[in-house]
Amino acid sequence: TAEVMSHVTAHFGKALEECRTESGLSPEILEEFQHFWSEDFEVVHRELGCALICMSNKFSLLQDDTRIHHVNMHDYVKGFPNGEVLSEKMVKLIHNCEKQFDDITDDCQRTVKVAACFKVDAKKEGIAPEVAMIEAVMERY
């Protein structure tokens, strides 16, 4: 659900600052990670892809090929309140997007494409949170 996704985003987003330097993602592109879900934020910058890889690695969510680690992602999402209702759906949506962009060899570029695809599909599925929902749970992490 969107509620669960707000928790996942709030927690995952805490890793952004540690990843800024190595990813080259400037605050002008994305100031706070929760804006990822904003209607008017476009998921297009290669640097965001690099940042997502760096952030995911902090939680061991990727395999060596930078595709998601299904078991670890499952366990990560399950760790949030009601996480078990979202974990399977989330892994499925991301994996489905990964398959669509499997031919892109640049890891950062492929990851930003996968993330954009995931944002669209999560909205379609009604599991995309509002930025305000994320802000409401930020202080808990």
Among 10, 19, 25, 114, the residue binding ligand B8M under the rule CB under 6 A is: 114
DSSP string for 72-88:
HHHHHHHTSTTGGGTHH
The nearest distance, CB 26 to ligand B8M, in angstroms, is 18
Nearest-angstrom CA–CA distance, 47 and 69: 21
Residue of the chain from 61, 108, 133, 137 that contacts ligand B8M (CB under 6 A): 61
- Indicate whether 115 belongs to the interface with ligand B8M (CB under 6 A): yes
Please state the closest distance from residue 74 (CB atom) to ligand B8M, in A: 11
Cβ contacts of 99 within 8 Å, gap of 6 or more: none
What is the nearest approach in angstroms of ligand B8M to the Cβ of residue 67? 5
Contact 101, 95 (CB under 8 A): no
Contacting ligand B8M (CB under 6 A), which of 19, 25, 52, 134? 52
Q: Does residue 94 bind ligand B8M (CB under 6 A)?
A: yes
Neighbours of 124 (CB within 10 A): 10
- Token pair belonging to 34: 């929760």
Q: Which two tokens stand for residue 93?
A: 């949506």
Residue 67 makes contact with ligand B8M by CB under 6 A? yes
> What are the residues binding ligand B8M (CB under 6 A)?
8-9, 12, 36, 52, 56, 61, 66-68, 94, 98, 111, 114-115, 118
